[in-house]
Amino acid sequence: MRPELTRRTDPPRLVVGGRDLSRFFTVTSAPRPVVPELEITEVSVPGADRSYVSGVAAKAYDWPVTGYINGWSDADVADVRRKLDAALYSPTEREVQVPDDPALSLMALYKGGSSPERHRHLPMVDLIFRVTDPIAYGRSRRAEVAGTGQIMTGGTWPARPVVTATPPAGSSWTIMNRTTGEFVRVRADFDGRQTVELDMGLERCRVNGYDHAVDVESDFFAISGKCEVYVSGGTAALEWRERWV
C-alpha cells in the first residue's frame, strides 16, 4: 500500500544521508517529475517489419531544491554556507528525503548550486542534486517463503530483493518467481548448514559469505505487485525496499 500521507504542519526539511540540514537551509520548493522520463532500448529482428522493446530504464535528471540559507547577517551566512557545503559534499550518491513526501527518498548526488543572493538576510539559493536513480525508495519490507507463497510487494515499480536461505541437503537449490517464470538455481554440495544469499539487484550469489556462480539459465528477478514465489526447499527470507514512481 502507499505510504500513509499525513497533514504536514512543519516546513519541508532537507535530509541528506540521514542528516537533517534544516538548521542550515529552509526548503521552499523541490519540484520533481510526476513520472521520470524513460529510456527505451529497442532491438531489430531479422525478417520482422518492426522493432521490439528489449529494455526500459528511468533516466537520471537534475533536481533543484530551492530555499534560503539560515543566516541573519553576512557573517552568519558565510558560516552557515561553509557548514552546508561540507554537509552536502559526497563523492558518492546518498539518500535524499523528498521534502514534500517524507515517506520517500531518492538516491542522488549533490551537484552544486547557484550563488546565493548577496547583501541580504536569508539569501535564496538553488541546490542542484543529480538523481541517478529516479525511482523513489519507500518502506523496508520482509517476507518469508517455504514451498510456495504469495508476496505483496508494495510500491508502483518492481523491486529487487535480497534473498537469504539455508537450503536442505542436496546438489542444488532454486528460487522462482512463478508469476514471471524467472528463477535462480544454485548448484553446490549442500548439507543443510550452508547459507545462500542472493542479491537480485547486484546480481550476486554468495554461499557462506563467498561468491558463488549460479546456473547459466538463471535470471536474477524483480518482484512487483502480487507475485507467487517458490523455493525448492527450506525457507527463504526476502527483504526489499518499496519502489515508487
Q: For 205-227, what is the mean pLDDT? A: 95
In the predicted model, is pLDDT for residue 136 greater than 50?
yes
In percent, the amount of the chain with pLDDT more than 70 equals 93
- Is 141 within 8 Å of 241 (Cβ atoms)? yes
Residue with cell 535524499: 96
- Is 71 within 8 Å of 79 (Cβ atoms)? yes
Comparing 240 with 119, the larger pLDDT belongs to 240
**What's the angle, vertex CA 216, arms to CA 167 and CA 197, rounded to 5?**
35
Res. 116 pLDDT band, cuts 50 70 90: low
- Is 24 within 8 Å of 80 (Cβ atoms)? yes
Give all strands (DSSP E) within 78-225, no chain letters: 94-97, 105-113, 124-152, 162-165, 170-177, 182-190, 196-199, 204-207, 210-211
Note the pLDDT tens digit of each residue in 80-103.
888 998 999 999 999 999 998 889
In the predicted model, is pLDDT for residue 226 greater than 90?
yes
| pTM to 2 decimal places | 0.80
In the predicted model, is pLDDT for residue 117 greater than 50?
yes
CA–CA gap between residue 214 and residue 150 (Å, rounded): 24
- 9 by Cβ neighbours in 10 Å (0-12 / 13-18 / 19+) ranks as exposed
C-alpha cell at 155: 510500491
In the predicted model, is pLDDT for residue 7 greater than 50?
no
Distances (CA, A) of 67 to 61, 106, 109: 19, 18, 18
Question: What residues does each domain of the chain span?
Answer: 15-134, 138-244
- Per CATH, the number for 138-244 is 2.60.120.860
CA–CA gap between residue 60 and residue 133 (Å, rounded): 6
Note the pLDDT tens digit of each residue in 144-187.
999 999 999 999 999 999 999 999 999 999 999 999 999 999 99
- Per CATH, the number for 15-134 is 2.40.30.200
Phi, psi of 88 (to 5 degrees): -85, -30
Give the DSSP H or E segment for 76.
helix 74-88
Q: Which pLDDT does position 195 carry in this prediction? A: 96
CA–CA gap between residue 34 and residue 134 (Å, rounded): 11
Q: Which pLDDT does position 10 carry in this prediction? A: 67
Q: For 211-217, what is the mean pLDDT? A: 95
In the predicted model, is pLDDT for residue 119 greater than 80?
no
| Average pLDDT of the chain to the nearest whole number | 89
CA–CA gap between residue 138 and residue 103 (Å, rounded): 6
Q: Which among 182, 180, 136, 168 is positioned nearest to 232, based on CA atoms? A: 168
